[in-house]
Structure 1
Amino acid sequence: MVTLLAGLALLALLGGACAVLASACRLSAALWPLPLLAGGAVLLYGFGLAGALPVGAAVVWLALAAVCAAGVVRLRPAGFLRACRAALCTPGLALFLGGSAFFWLLFFVQQPMFTQWDEFTAWGLAPKMVVERGAFYVADPVNLKASFTYPATSLAAYLFLPFGRWAEWACLAALDTLALACVAAASALPRPRWAAAVAVFAGGVLLPYFFSDPAPGAYATQYVSAMAELPMALLFGGTLCLYFGTAPRRGLVWLTALPLALLTLTKDICFAYGLIAVFLIALDQLAAGPLRKRAVPALVQGGGLAAVVLAAFLSWSRYTAAVTPTADTAASVGSEGLSYGAVLLGGVRQLLGIGREAKFAQIMAAMGDAFFTRRVCLLGSGVLAVAAITLVAAAAWLAAGKGAPRRRVLALHLGFALCFAALYAFHLILYHYNFSDEEGLALKDYARYLTPYYQAWMLAMLCLLGRGARARLSQAALGGAAAVLAAVFCWRGVPAAGFWTNADSLYTLRADVQRRAAAMNTALDWDDRVLVLSQGDDATRWYYYRYELTARVVNGFGGFYGRLGETEDRWDSDFMNLVESENWTLYDYKAVCVPETLVAYMAEKDCDYLLIDRADDYLEREFSPLFEGGLTNDMPATLYHFEGADAEVPFTVAVATESEVR
């Protein structure tokens, strides 16, 4: 309940601050949630670099409260209430606050949890570590490598969870609040044009579903995901929509720097996304009037925003390198450890046909074919997605006034297309250098990498159409575009389950590990080092434990470690299963180990505990003498304290627990 009240309280402060700023600056109240949230996260980022995240959260909350208090003093209570009522009558802000409150209340009741693999390896683990530890995972890594993820999603979650009370549902609600702030910026239209604002907002909310390829009957994770794709797509599009709303006010256009910085901190590819956004803003500035008059302002503004992107990117990379100067933080690509510059230069040379390798040629052919055949939206392939976006852009061009407004729509659409071609070529280069031969030729995660760009492109065109739709025909075009999105969603995209339904059936295995880990945590602390064994596991349970345990989970090994002092036949891994040499083929991922070498490995890795999640006949037969009370193949999950290699019984029981699922 405290977490829910904190989330709703921050929403109330945001609403009050938006009302005060809209009244003071004569700018649509719907434009303010995005720069306020992004600005709060960027301010929090600065405090995080200094190792003072809790102080930063307090400053952000107090700053929002101070804006509200200043509004009460300046406008007096009656005037402040009038400003709040006027702001709530702004369609975009009302939809943002109502939608965000809906997510917070719904998720509080449903208590959704993470379900995707990468949420446990990085994207969900990172905000959990930040909230529980009150520090960036880079300076305090525990179970997360410094290079795994960028901090934007963790900052957004921490902004709503500053009291160290971690809740997965609240993290999901915080990220959805940020997403809705981006959509609100696209729908920032005056009250008399409420229908157009509702159409743009509805279309923006449906875009993550429209640009997807759902499996029949699958659980839709679009708004129940800690992954970076949703924030990345909507921050990219939302930054441009914020620019469209602030462009007439030259001083306020610099508000775009705040979401632009947060976008850059969302994912490694977002450095490119940030620069693309800057390029499009500069292109719009040039198209707004005569070139001789607009060149200098465009150069100044574009240079300033590019400096923001570069500062955000370099500050994080320099911070990770300074705090943990290891190979994990090195800026390299692929198994050969090439620099980004070397990869880009080599890729461009091969694109031009200079020294082109067979693998590159095969991937290039596959990428060319994929644009016409791989599904990236409910309509089908990328070429159909671009066609749909172009239709919306054409409607926006017709709705815009003659002269500069139409030039700007055309320039932006063509700029998006040009940058998409460059981004497409960049992913071709990455598939060659950053993936194995099998993954590269299969274009692994092709749709996941490209759909954020399509979403942002469509959101920007919907925003331009909404801003230009004043005549009845253009209003009908906007309503038709939103209706088509909804119709296609209902026709092909309505999932069997999503954020509006419970997903208990997906949590069975997760809940089992969670119960066991909760029992183990009574004896563990963050400084403890634990080796986890779960015989027959495919790494799923290992990653669940790594997420749930309040301790550092030590990596296992693969290969052969059958004699003391001989380590050349083993390799580092994540999880491990212990097997006999004659049973080598029974496991996909295995570590041949004898009792003496298990003890030696525990000592080598300075482990404090061994957690046996699931045992088997091999452990029972060969390893029982090492453990207090012995082992059985059907034993409950048990945490053993490691007494040392010289102890008569190296492993003594610390915690034993039963579980409902075996």
Structure 2
Amino acid sequence: MLQLVWGLFLIVLLAGACAVLASGGKADAALLPLPLLSGMALLLYGFGLAGALRIGAALAVVLLVAVWAVGLVRLRPAGFVKACREAVSTPGLALFVGGAAFFWVLFFVLQPMFTQWDEFTAWGLAPKMVVERGAFYVADPVNLKASFTYPATSLVTFLFQPFGRWAEWACLAALDTLALACVAAATALPRSRWFASVGVFAAGAVLPYFFRDPAPGAYATQYVNAMADLPMAMLFGGTLCLYFGTERRRGFFWLTALPLALLTLTKDICFAYGLIAAFLIGLDWLAAGEGPFRKRLGAALLHAGGLAVAVVAAFLSWSRYTAAVTPTVDTAASVGSAGLSYGAVLTGGVKQLLGIGRDDKFAQIMAAMGDAFFTRRVCLLGGGILAVAAITLVAAAAWLSAEKGATRRSILVLHLGFAFCFAALYAFHLILYYYNFSDGEGLALKDYDRYLTPYYQAWMLAMLCQLGRAARGRLGRVAQGGAVAAVLALFCWRGVPGAGFWTAADSLYTLRADVQQRAAVMNTVLDWNDRVLVLSQGDDATRWYYYRYELTAQVVNGFGGFYGRLGETQDRWDSDFMNLVESENWTLYDYKAVCVPATLVAYMAEKDCDYLLIDRADDYLQREFSPLFEGGLTNDMPATLYHFEGEDAEVPFTIAATTEQEVQ
């Protein structure tokens, strides 16, 4: 309940601050949630770098309250109430507040949980660590590598959960609140054109479903996941929509730098996305700015350059921070198993593209990428070619609806700029498939749709915003209504899955709930400083990652290979989870660990482990390892946590907790 009350309280604070700042016609209230949320997250970022996240969260709230106080003093209570009423009557802000409150209440009732693999390895684990520990996982890593993920999603989550009490549903609601703020930025239209704002907001909100090809009956995770894909797409498109709404006003324009910096901190590829956004804004300024070409060129370079500086500063600050707080860990940006720098990768990739020293693997991946643009489904219409065609139709409708002159020129140049940057991004992913993936994964174009759909989504959102702003007169209204209707119709026809954020998904949580229940028992004994080795015989790493996410302790990695003789480690390699198998069965178990009782004890000592958690045992453990454990082992034993007494103990493992009895 605390998370729900706090989430709704922040939304109300945010809406009131938007009303005060928008009073007097200084800005459209629908534009303000995005820069305010981004600014608060960036304030947290600064305090997080200094190791004082909770102070940053408190200051962010104090600043919002201060805006309210200034509004009450300056406008008087009656004027403040009037400003709030006018702001909330702005369609974009009203839809943002209503949509955000809807997500918070619905998720509180349904209590959705994480379901995707990467949420437990990085994107869900990172905000959980930040919320529970009150510090960046880089300086306080526990179960997460220093440079494993970027901090934007964790910052937004922490803003809505600053008390150290973690809730997955609140994390999801916080990220969706940010997404709706980005969509709201596209709706900044005069109040008399409320229908256009509603249409753009509705179409923008379903774009995550539009740019996806769901399996029939599959659970829709677009608004129920902690991955960076949704924030990345929405921040990229929302930053451009915010720029359109500033109408190039001097002071107001620089608010665009706030979501742009947050975008850069969202994912590693977002450094490129941030520079693309700065480039597109500069291109638009050059095409549609006021004055002669030389004056427009200077203004374009100044403003695009200033935004690029914000992007570079955000990127470098995180890189330098990770390197500074983890000096013994390699946090340098590198690609592939060879550890090549991005510069070396780009140089080698460009040479391959030009045919200089091109090998068969690159040629095959290039052919696969060329074919995928036409055949791999990335949206409800089909392949990338159809996605680009749909976006082009929206851009054409905006161009036809706009007044002749600078506005039409802006739409045309912006669309062509998007297309040019997409081609460059496509080539960049071709190079990454060559350098950063195994032969099988590269040729299969692993996660192709996930990598590219955020760009399509942002491109479409920007064009819908342009259409909404340009649609004047009967023809313009018809064009905008047709575009919105087409997006919504496709969503209703082919995009509505069997289950989504609006339904419970209890059947997806069966395995998670089992691990969660067992981990809760172990957590009554464990502390964050404890080091635990987890064994779950027959696991495919799923249960291991669930435990790594749930346990309030440092989960130690296992090993693969052969460790059958003490002191001989040349035949083993570091892994994550491990299953113990008999040496004679080694050929039947790829990537499992051959281990005898003495070497298990030696490995525990080598890794300085405090506990061993046996989630599931089997006949091999029962037969060979029982003498090492208090009470022995059985193949059907309950999950049990053992304290490691040391190599010299007569019984190295004593029971600390079990799911069938009270803590010892």
TM-score range, shorter chain: over 0.9
Q: Tell me the distance in 2 between the aligned counterparts of 1:270 and 1:490.
A: 31
Q: Tell me the distance in 2 between the aligned counterparts of 1:17 and 1:492.
A: 39
Does residue 519 in structure 1 map to residue 521 in structure 2? yes
Q: Which amino acid aligns with 1:2?
A: L
* Offset at residue 238 of structure 1 (A): 0.0
Does the Cα contact within 8 Å between 1:124 and 1:226 map onto a contact in 2? yes
Could you say which residue in structure 2 is the equivalent of 1:270? Answer: 270
Structure 1, 467-476 or 198-207: larger mean CA deviation:
467-476
TM-score (norm 2): 0.98
Alignment of 1:129-168 (within 5 A): 129-168=129-168
Could you say which residue in structure 2 is the equivalent of 1:118? Answer: 118
Q: Please give the per-residue CA displacement for 1:35-93, whole angstroms capped at 9, x wherever unaligned.
A: 00000001110000011100000000110111011101110111000000000100000
* Offset at residue 24 of structure 1 (A): 5.0
Q: What is the DSSP-based 3-state SS (H/G/I as helix, E as strand, rest coil) of the residue aligned with 1:137?
A: coil
Does residue 600 in structure 1 map to residue 626 in structure 2? no
Could you say which residue in structure 2 is the equivalent of 1:71? Answer: 71
Equivalent of residue 343 in structure 1, options 345, 359, 362: 345
Alignment of 1:607-626 (within 5 A): 607-626=609-628
Q: Tell me the distance in 2 between the aligned counterparts of 1:85 and 1:319.
A: 44
Q: Which amino acid aligns with 1:430?
A: L
Could you say which residue in structure 1 is the equivalent of 2:397? Answer: 395
Q: Tell me the distance in 1 between the aligned counterparts of 2:385 and 2:146.
A: 37
Could you say which residue in structure 1 is the equivalent of 2:484? Answer: 482
Alignment of 1:16-27 (within 5 A): 16-23=16-23, 26-27=26-27
Q: What is the DSSP-based 3-state SS (H/G/I as helix, E as strand, rest coil) of the residue aligned with 1:402?
A: coil
Q: Which amino acid aligns with 2:7?
A: G
Alignment of 1:541-620 (within 5 A): 541-620=543-622
Q: Tell me the distance in 2 between the aligned counterparts of 1:579 and 1:164.
A: 40
Q: Tell me the distance in 2 between the aligned counterparts of 1:202 and 1:589.
A: 48
Could you say which residue in structure 2 is the equivalent of 1:367? Answer: 369
Q: Tell me the distance in 2 between the aligned counterparts of 1:140 and 1:46.
A: 16
Q: What is the DSSP-based 3-state SS (H/G/I as helix, E as strand, rest coil) of the residue aligned with 1:500?
A: coil
Q: Which amino acid aligns with 1:602?
A: M
* Offset at residue 328 of structure 1 (A): 4.2
Q: Tell me the distance in 2 between the aligned counterparts of 1:217 and 1:588.
A: 33
Could you say which residue in structure 2 is the equivalent of 1:529? Answer: 531
Could you say which residue in structure 2 is the equivalent of 1:467? Answer: 469
Structure 1, 447-456 or 19-28: larger mean CA deviation:
19-28
Q: Which amino acid aligns with 1:145?
A: K
Q: What is the DSSP-based 3-state SS (H/G/I as helix, E as strand, rest coil) of the residue aligned with 2:250?
A: coil
Q: Tell me the distance in 1 between the aligned counterparts of 2:505 and 2:588.
A: 33
Q: Tell me the distance in 2 between the aligned counterparts of 1:238 and 1:632.
A: 57
Alignment of 1:87-236 (within 5 A): 87-236=87-236
Q: Which amino acid aligns with 1:443?
A: L
Q: What is the DSSP-based 3-state SS (H/G/I as helix, E as strand, rest coil) of the residue aligned with 1:559?
A: strand
Structure 1, 322-331 or 526-535: larger mean CA deviation:
322-331
Does residue 629 in structure 1 map to residue 636 in structure 2? no
Does residue 657 in structure 1 map to residue 659 in structure 2? yes
Could you say which residue in structure 1 is the equivalent of 2:9? Answer: 9
Structure 1, 624-633 or 16-25: larger mean CA deviation:
16-25
Could you say which residue in structure 2 is the equivalent of 1:333? Answer: 335
Count of aligned positions: 659
Q: What is the DSSP-based 3-state SS (H/G/I as helix, E as strand, rest coil) of the residue aligned with 2:643?
A: strand
Q: Please give the per-residue CA displacement for 1:174-225, whole angstroms capped at 9, x wherever unaligned.
A: 0000000000000111211110000000000010000001011110000001
* Offset at residue 473 of structure 1 (A): 1.2
Q: Please give the per-residue CA displacement for 1:545-566, whole angstroms capped at 9, x wherever unaligned.
A: 0000000000000000000000
Does the Cα contact within 8 Å between 1:536 and 1:587 map onto a contact in 2? no
Q: What is the DSSP-based 3-state SS (H/G/I as helix, E as strand, rest coil) of the residue aligned with 2:27?
A: coil
Structure 1 vs Structure 2: percent identity of aligned residues?
Answer: 83
* Offset at residue 288 of structure 1 (A): 1.2
Q: Tell me the distance in 1 between the aligned counterparts of 2:271 and 2:528.
A: 33
Could you say which residue in structure 2 is the equivalent of 1:508? Answer: 510
Q: What is the DSSP-based 3-state SS (H/G/I as helix, E as strand, rest coil) of the residue aligned with 2:189?
A: coil
Q: What is the DSSP-based 3-state SS (H/G/I as helix, E as strand, rest coil) of the residue aligned with 2:215?
A: coil
Q: Tell me the distance in 2 between the aligned counterparts of 1:65 and 1:533.
A: 50
Q: Tell me the distance in 1 between the aligned counterparts of 2:240 and 2:150.
A: 22
Q: What is the DSSP-based 3-state SS (H/G/I as helix, E as strand, rest coil) of the residue aligned with 1:329?
A: coil
Structure 1, 20-29 or 447-456: larger mean CA deviation:
20-29
Alignment of 1:432-451 (within 5 A): 432-451=434-453
Q: What is the DSSP-based 3-state SS (H/G/I as helix, E as strand, rest coil) of the residue aligned with 1:502?
A: coil
Q: Tell me the distance in 1 between the aligned counterparts of 2:25 and 2:435.
A: 49
Does the Cα contact within 8 Å between 1:241 and 1:463 map onto a contact in 2? yes
Q: What is the DSSP-based 3-state SS (H/G/I as helix, E as strand, rest coil) of the residue aligned with 1:532?
A: strand
TM-score (norm 1): 0.99
Q: Please give the per-residue CA displacement for 1:261-292, whole angstroms capped at 9, x wherever unaligned.
A: 00000000000000000000000000014312
Could you say which residue in structure 1 is the equivalent of 2:421? Answer: 419
Q: What is the DSSP-based 3-state SS (H/G/I as helix, E as strand, rest coil) of the residue aligned with 1:646?
A: coil
Q: Tell me the distance in 1 between the aligned counterparts of 2:100 and 2:108.
A: 12
Could you say which residue in structure 2 is the equivalent of 1:383? Answer: 385
Alignment of 1:274-289 (within 5 A): 274-289=274-289
Could you say which residue in structure 2 is the equivalent of 1:57? Answer: 57
Q: Tell me the distance in 2 between the aligned counterparts of 1:119 and 1:178.
A: 18
Q: What is the DSSP-based 3-state SS (H/G/I as helix, E as strand, rest coil) of the residue aligned with 2:638?
A: coil
Q: Tell me the distance in 2 between the aligned counterparts of 1:26 and 1:127.
A: 36
* Offset at residue 33 of structure 1 (A): 0.1
Q: What is the DSSP-based 3-state SS (H/G/I as helix, E as strand, rest coil) of the residue aligned with 1:299?
A: helix
Q: What is the DSSP-based 3-state SS (H/G/I as helix, E as strand, rest coil) of the residue aligned with 1:354?
A: coil
* Offset at residue 25 of structure 1 (A): 5.8
Q: Please give the per-residue CA displacement for 1:429-461, whole angstroms capped at 9, x wherever unaligned.
A: 000000011100110000000000000000000
Q: Which amino acid aligns with 1:291?
A: F
Q: Tell me the distance in 2 between the aligned counterparts of 1:18 and 1:262.
A: 19
Does the Cα contact within 8 Å between 1:576 and 1:591 map onto a contact in 2? yes
Q: Please give the per-residue CA displacement for 1:307-342, whole angstroms capped at 9, x wherever unaligned.
A: 000000000011001111245412111000100100
Q: Which amino acid aligns with 1:195?
A: F
- Unaligned 5+ runs, structure 1: none
Does residue 641 in structure 1 map to residue 643 in structure 2? yes
Q: Tell me the distance in 1 between the aligned counterparts of 2:63 and 2:585.
A: 63
Structure 1, 464-473 or 273-282: larger mean CA deviation:
464-473
Q: What is the DSSP-based 3-state SS (H/G/I as helix, E as strand, rest coil) of the residue aligned with 1:141?
A: coil
Cα RMSD, aligned residues only: 0.9
Q: Tell me the distance in 2 between the aligned counterparts of 1:589 and 1:561.
A: 13
Does the Cα contact within 8 Å between 1:614 and 1:637 map onto a contact in 2? yes
Does the Cα contact within 8 Å between 1:409 and 1:464 map onto a contact in 2? yes
Q: Which amino acid aligns with 1:227?
A: M
Does the Cα contact within 8 Å between 1:91 and 1:190 map onto a contact in 2? no
Q: Tell me the distance in 2 between the aligned counterparts of 1:252 and 1:548.
A: 44
Could you say which residue in structure 2 is the equivalent of 1:291? Answer: 293
Structure 1, 13-22 or 480-489: larger mean CA deviation:
480-489
Q: Which amino acid aligns with 1:107?
A: F
Q: Tell me the distance in 2 between the aligned counterparts of 1:238 and 1:641.
A: 52
Q: Tell me the distance in 2 between the aligned counterparts of 1:15 and 1:169.
A: 22
Q: Please give the per-residue CA displacement for 1:222-270, whole angstroms capped at 9, x wherever unaligned.
A: 0001000000000000000000000242220000000000000000000
Q: Tell me the distance in 1 between the aligned counterparts of 2:173 and 2:539.
A: 32
Structure 1, 378-387 or 22-31: larger mean CA deviation:
22-31
Q: Tell me the distance in 2 between the aligned counterparts of 1:124 and 1:218.
A: 21
